[in-house]
Structure 1
Amino acid sequence: MNYDSKIEAHAGGHESFDATGNPLVDDAHDRASRRWIWIVAVVVLALVVAVWFFVHGGTDESAAGKDAAQVPVVSVVVPGRSIVAGEISATGSLAARRSMPVGSVGEGGEVREIRVEAGDWVQQGQVLAVIDRSVQTQAAASQSAQVAVAAADARIAQSNLDRGLKLVDRGFISKADIDRLTATRDAAVARVDVARATLGQLRAQNARLNIVAPAAGLVLERNVEMGQVVSGGSGVLFRLAKGGEMELLANLSEDDLAALSVGVEAKVTPVGSGRTFIGQVWQLSPIIDTTTRQGTARIALKFDPALRPGGFASAVIESGAVVAPMLPESAIQSDAKGAFVYVVDTAGKVHRRPVKTGLVTGNGIIVTSGLAGNEKIVLRAGGFLNDGDKVKTRLVAAAN
């Protein structure tokens, strides 16, 4: 009965069983399962390989990109050689070109009147101060009377001589008497001359009592007051600038002084005036100060109220044309060793090169030595570079 039921179950469910009653596994189904396992394994292996290549290949590319990004891009300029009008900048103080100290040249006396003040313009011979001359006037008057007395004595002596000459021929007087009369007349005439000379001296002394201007010019100082007693030892009472001419005493280094010559033009700007005056170098110092290592260039200037002696001023002096490379200030670095620039070679590396700078203009700084003008010079960011660094360049037009 059990056997029959197993046969019926097999007929109804279409399932195969072995002799013990266990179900049999289908071979085709087993092969299909194994095939799917291999397919999944291959796919997983392909994914692993792809991820490995992606990871390692991407790292190399990113490293290369990172290295490329670390190379800085700098602006460079090829300066060439420029023709620049040479200029030398200097500073100094203003002074009178010809300062004239004026004092008392006569006997002196009490100051009764002062007719000028500092800043006034005076003419040659103009009275600056009047000195009391009451005593001197009386002395001159007395001497004038002495001249009259001496002249009267001379006339009497001449008359006596004339009468004696008429009587000598008649024998009334001797020749010795004539000689005595002649000597008396000559002495009287000489006394007249002495009296007149003394009178002239007194009048000249009186004329010199007043303080007068020796030449036309500008009064710079007044050092005398009313009632003051002055004499030849009283010092400077007035100080004049002859013709009102001024000058700038410009302090220059030895090199700058050697580059100048008398007659070159200079532009002078006094501090606080905001104006520029044109002058000329009229004298160069023949000596150099041993302490400051500087000399003086004297720049003549015409009279102008804005030019005040003792004031401070700056000057720009022409010194001839210069042909040399010119760089912006940002391209020139400096340290304890001096000024230098960074030059980019054909391989894109920067190299430090020492230079010597000269004239500073509105367009840049002249490089007097160290460059030929055809080099690529780092324009900016030189302070962040080191000798031998690799850079990328961007050319910038040179300044004119």
Structure 2
Amino acid sequence: MNYETSFRSDETATPIDGDSAPRRRRALIIGAVVIALAVALAFFMFGRKSEPAGPVAAQGAKAQAPEVTVVTPGRQPVAGTVSATGTMAARVDMPVGVAGEGGEVTRVLVQPGDWVRAGQVLATIERSVQAQQSAALQAQINVARANARLAEQELARAQQLVGRGFISKADVDRKLATRDQANAQVRVAEAQYRESLARTGRLDIRAPAAGLVLTRAVEPGQVVGAGSGALFRLAKGGEMELRAQLSETDLAKVHVGATATVTPVGSAESFHGQVWQVAPVIDPQSRQGIARIALSYDPALRPGGFAQAEIVTGQTDAPVLPESAVLSDPSGNFVYIVDANDKAQRRAVKTGQVSAKGIAIVSGLTGNERVVLSAGAFLNPGQAVKPHRQAAGR
């Protein structure tokens, strides 16, 4: 009884152990399938999303790119210029001093800033002595004329008597010579008198030409003479000039007749002039030469003042940009251009003349680039932007 029970127990245990192995295999297979499905699902979900990440990110970055206004400047005629600085002066500076004997100044008739005409009296000198000398010479003229009349009368009487034989021909000749001598003495006395008047007239200090009185260095009561120096300085016709200092290279570009714009220091007003003389020599110390720019009179142009000049040396074709498009830093001037990939790129440029049209770009641009008009200071090289084109003429 016990044997059978034991046999059945063993017989039952054997099939139970035999069924557990397939179940474990099925569990492993099911687990592997679940894991594979999970991996596939994860690949499907994350792998598919990672594939378009680049284009989507690029589109997002492009959507966030700043908008900039660009222009293609092209090329247009631009006047070539050179810049210079210099000192204002009278174009023809005339010092006026004592032309005669000199003496004590009695009156000064003009002040600096007055306009005078040619020959106008600027100052007078005391002339009492010269006046008495002139009066004496005038009296000598009267004496000489009286002697001339007497000689003429004696000659006439002698010519009447020579026909009657009372006077010889030799006596008549002597009377004729006496008459001629008396007439010559009259002319000498008159010449001496005119010389005296001229000397007296030279006591007046007169303007040699019409112009503007620049300085005055004499006062009433002052004793002046030939060694007193210039008592007045005049600008002939009021014409002024700028004596612009230029380097050898720039001086070679300037020619007589070139137009120029002159701006005095401290003034916002500019004046137009013309180069009338270019220095034939170069200063060996400074290596500079002088271009003299003629200017019409204006109260703002004062001799001795400092001024800047822009001299036109010719004409060339160059891109012209608004001032907002040209930036600068310690490295120099530059602009931002937008390349074919719509990315901002820094471009170094050299600027030229500044005018109402804008700034001429001498080098660095061909004129076909898309140049950022403004907000360039907020861009970085290589930064993506959204360009909006603007016409160059706006």
Query: What's the TM-score, normalizing by structure 1?
Result: 0.73
Q: Which residue in the other structure is 2:231 paired with?
A: 237
- Which digits, 9 at most, give the CA deviation of each residue in 1:321-353, with x for residues without a partner? 5433335675688999x9888888768999998
Alpha-carbon distance in 2 for matches of 1:311, 1:331: 32
Alpha-carbon distance in 1 for matches of 2:229, 2:174: 54
Q: Which residue in the other structure is 1:100 paired with?
A: 94
Alpha-carbon distance in 2 for matches of 1:261, 1:320: 10
Alpha-carbon distance in 2 for matches of 1:50, 1:208: 121
Alpha-carbon distance in 1 for matches of 2:142, 2:390: 97
Alpha-carbon distance in 2 for matches of 1:19, 1:47: 43
Alpha-carbon distance in 2 for matches of 1:215, 1:335: 54
Unaligned runs of 5+ in 2: none
Quick one: structure 1 residues 29 and 173, their matched pair in 2 at CA, closer, same or farther if it must change by over 3 Å?
Answer: same
| 3-state SS of 1:130 partner | strand
State the aligned residue count: 380
- Which digits, 9 at most, give the CA deviation of each residue in 1:67-117, with x for residues without a partner? 99999x897754322344666655433322332221111111111211111
CA contact (8 A) 2:72 2:392 kept: no
Quick one: structure 1 residues 288 and 35, their matched pair in 2 at CA, closer, same or farther if it must change by over 3 Å?
Answer: farther
Quick one: structure 1 residues 343 and 287, their matched pair in 2 at CA, closer, same or farther if it must change by over 3 Å?
Answer: farther
Range that drifts further, 325-334 or 308-317 = 325-334
Q: 1:299 aligns with which of 282, 291, 294?
A: 294
CA contact (8 A) 1:282 1:300 kept: no
Quick one: structure 1 residues 214 and 184, their matched pair in 2 at CA, closer, same or farther if it must change by over 3 Å?
Answer: same
Which protein has the larger Cα radius of gyration, Structure 1 or Structure 2?
Answer: 1
Quick one: structure 1 residues 127 and 364, their matched pair in 2 at CA, closer, same or farther if it must change by over 3 Å?
Answer: closer
Quick one: structure 1 residues 181 and 383, their matched pair in 2 at CA, closer, same or farther if it must change by over 3 Å?
Answer: farther
CA contact (8 A) 1:81 1:324 kept: yes
Quick one: structure 1 residues 259 and 295, their matched pair in 2 at CA, closer, same or farther if it must change by over 3 Å?
Answer: same
Q: Which residue in the other structure is 1:122 paired with?
A: 116
- Which digits, 9 at most, give the CA deviation of each residue in 1:166-204, with x for residues without a partner? 332333332222222222222222111111110110011
Q: Name the aligned partner's letter for residue 160 of structure 1.
A: E
Alpha-carbon distance in 2 for matches of 1:173, 1:363: 103
* Counterpart check, 1:18 vs 2:9: yes
CA contact (8 A) 2:248 2:287 kept: no
Q: Name the aligned partner's letter for residue 274 of structure 2.
A: V
Q: Which residue in the other structure is 2:278 paired with?
A: 285
Shift of 1:222: 0.5
Q: 2:305 aligns with which of 300, 304, 311?
A: 311
CA contact (8 A) 2:111 2:216 kept: yes
Q: Which residue in the other structure is 2:207 paired with?
A: 213
Unaligned runs of 5+ in 1: 8-16
Quick one: structure 1 residues 20 and 354, their matched pair in 2 at CA, closer, same or farther if it must change by over 3 Å?
Answer: closer
CA contact (8 A) 2:79 2:353 kept: no
Correspondence list, 1:305-384, <5 A: 305-316=299-310, 322-327=316-321, 357-362=351-356, 364-368=358-362, 372-375=366-369, 380=376
Alpha-carbon distance in 2 for matches of 1:276, 1:345: 40
Q: Name the aligned partner's letter for residue 147 of structure 2.
A: D
* Counterpart check, 1:271 vs 2:271: no
Quick one: structure 1 residues 68 and 47, their matched pair in 2 at CA, closer, same or farther if it must change by over 3 Å?
Answer: same
| 3-state SS of 1:18 partner | helix
Q: 1:43 aligns with which of 31, 34, 38?
A: 34
Shift of 1:205: 0.6
